[in-house]
Amino acid sequence: TGGGTVAAVDLGATSGRVMLAHVSARELAVTEAARFPNTPVRTIDGLHWDVLGLYARTLAGLAEAVRAGDVASAGIDSWAVDYALLRGTRMLGVPFHYRDERTARGVAAVHAVVPPAELFAVNGLQHLPFNTVFQLVVDRLDGVLDAADRFLLVPDLLTYWLTGTAAAERTNASTTGLLDARTGEWSTGLARRLGIPGRVLQPLVDPGADAGPLLPHVAAQLGEGAARLRVTTVGSHDTASAVVAVPATDADVAYISCGTWGLVGVELEHPELSDAGRAAGFTNERGVDGRVRYLHNVMGLWLLSESVRTWEADGGEVDLPGLVRAAGQVADPVPIIDVDDPGFLPPGDMPARITGWCRAHGVEPPATRAAVVRTILASLADAFARTVHRAAELTGRRVRTIHLVGGGARNAVLCRLTAASSGLPVLAGPVEATAMGNALVQARALGFVSGDLEALRALVVATHPPQEFRP
Ligand code: LFR
């Protein structure tokens, strides 16, 4: 076939983009139709996502995409776990940001009923205080869940606003903590024990499913070319889409999907629910085509973006590429911090927190901005390397190569340090793996390409060969 064009909407914690992808058996050409910042808003009750703004910018980006090409389909992915409550068509309140501190109450309330080990035995997830299940229990305690007849994760919400079809896409649903890791179905038993009414759990759908045509008022807003546009369900958890586009040619690989977070692990056929894995903080998230993403959340470039935000608030522009280059040249040893320390999770003055962490652990804090950046990158590389080796140990998988995809692949210092810390070659890129994985799943559903994940990955290798960093 001649292939065709799809639009991939990829919403990240700091920015969103609408990418146009032309896909055929030999081609994967991705261009940017629109890019926009994602700026959380703090109000009296806490930290929220501006979902209306994100939706408006997604619409404007799709209009741009439709003007630029003959777009057959659009698919939406975003970060995981966060959601809107709805009653009928009406959204109840503004969705919270997973970095809002309110989740602590939810963790305590859930663990009082279902202890951590029991929770893991059902959902197979790394304990992250913001997993949806903890947030929903806060809503229940606050009396808000009573009024809701469903919750929709962010990509499902936008798909609903575009098409009027409400569903729970399975890869993202696996991050809620309410999906059974073995069956891939909602654990209604767990929900019941936690006082979460079964009605709020929407029917599950898999990546590749048709989500329908645009609602008439949406099509009218997007203009002429939108008439035949449909929405296709993709791996709506951004990490699931990124893993689809890991340019791996064999099975002996680990991946790092590095943006705001560093998601580090391997792909499995079945969940790995051992206690050792739970203790090591590994998660079993659902991938596209029923694969399992066995990985650990490492804090990621959040440490760097929050540092830059702090320095900018101090006054003046920050030349990040320049700082990263300078960090690459720092010759004196820098402290290695525990990037996974929960103290680094909430927004705030990251350089001050890094200094505080060093003082508390009796090590000399980094003294210059370049040294702070070096500390962050070397500490991330150290965590990435340890996590890759741990994943290999826990699964009995041989890992000979590390694939690093996402925005972090642009950071040569991070790639070099990761290769050095792990003793393994790092293959960096593509930077836009998430948009590519999103687009590939749509293209396959529409018949522009065919085959299993290995075939889709072979297309990525052929069109976007990664850059190698030797240990
Ligand atoms: C990455 C990501 C991670 C998830 C975190 C919070 O963008 O989706 O996979 O743990 O954001 O949702």
Q: Whose CA is closest to atom 11 on ligand 1?
A: 79
- pTM higher than 0.80: yes
Q: Whose CA is closest to atom 1 on ligand 1?
A: 79
Residue 1 pLDDT: 57
Distance, CA 98 to ligand 1 centroid (Å)? Answer: 9
What DSSP assignment string belongs to 358-406? Answer: HHHTT-PPP-SHHHHHHHHHHHHHHHHHHHHHHHHHHHT----EEEEES
Q: Whose CA is closest to atom 8 on ligand 1?
A: 79
Q: Whose CA is closest to atom 9 on ligand 1?
A: 239
Residue 277 pLDDT: 98
pLDDT in tens, the chain (471 residues): 589 999 999 999 999 999 999 999 999 999 999 999 999 999 999 999 999 999 999 999 999 999 998 999 999 999 999 999 999 999 999 999 999 999 999 999 999 999 999 999 999 999 999 999 999 999 999 999 999 999 999 999 999 999 999 999 999 999 999 999 999 999 999 999 999 999 999 999 999 999 999 999 999 999 988 988 999 999 999 999 999 999 998 899 999 999 999 999 999 999 999 999 999 999 999 999 999 999 999 999 999 999 999 999 988 899 999 999 999 999 999 999 999 999 999 999 999 999 999 999 999 999 999 999 999 999 999 999 999 999 999 999 999 999 999 999 999 999 999 999 999 999 999 999 999 999 999 999 999 999 999 999 999 999 999 999 999
Distance, CA 80 to ligand 1 centroid (Å)? Answer: 5
Can 340 be counted among the known catalytic residues?
A: no
pLDDT, tens digit, for every residue of 157-177? 999 999 999 999 999 999 999
Quick check: ipTM above 0.85? yes
Distance, CA 467 to ligand 1 centroid (Å)? Answer: 25
Torsion, Cα of 263, 302, 429, 385 (10° steps): -50
The residue whose two tokens read 């340090």 is: 417
Distance, CA 176 to ligand 1 centroid (Å)? Answer: 11
The residue whose two tokens read 């705001």 is: 260
Residue 225 pLDDT: 86
Name the residue of 238, 282, 284, 294 whose CB sits within 8 Å of the most ligand 1 atoms, as the mutation to test its pocket: 238
Name the residue of 239, 257, 405 whose CB sits within 8 Å of the most ligand 1 atoms, as the mutation to test its pocket: 239
Distance, CA 444 to ligand 1 centroid (Å)? Answer: 25
Please identify, by atom number, the ligand 1 atom nearest to the C-alpha of residue 82.
12
Q: Whose CA is closest to atom 12 on ligand 1?
A: 80
Q: Could you tell me which of 256, 249, 284 has the C-alpha nearest to residue 268?
A: 284
Active-site pick, 82, 238, 252, 349? 238
Distance, CA 356 to ligand 1 centroid (Å)? Answer: 26
SS3 413: helix
The residue whose two tokens read 């009027």 is: 164
Residue 239 pLDDT: 98
> How many angstroms separate the CA atoms of 448 and 355, rounded?
52
Distance, CA 362 to ligand 1 centroid (Å)? Answer: 32
- Whether the ω angle into residue 346 lies within 30 degrees of 0, i.e. cis, is no
Please identify, by atom number, the ligand 1 atom nearest to the C-alpha of residue 238.
8
Contacts of 79 (CB under 8 A, 6+ apart): 11, 12, 13, 98, 154, 238, 260
Please identify, by atom number, the ligand 1 atom nearest to the C-alpha of residue 80.
12
Give the binding-site residues of ligand 1, using a 6 Å CB cut-off: 79-81, 98, 237-239, 259-261, 263, 297
DSSP state of 418: H
What DSSP assignment string belongs to 39-74? Answer: --EEETTEEE--HHHHHHHHHHHHHHHHHHS-EEEE
Opening angle at CA 324, ends 320 and 325, nearest 5? 115
Residue 392, Cβ neighbours under 10 Å: how many? 18
- How are beta strands 230-232 and 71-78 bridged, if at all? parallel
Q: Whose CA is closest to atom 7 on ligand 1?
A: 79
Angle subtended by helix axes 369-395 and 350-360, to nearest 10 = 70
Q: Tokens for 126?
A: 């790394």
Residue 8, Cβ neighbours under 10 Å: how many? 30
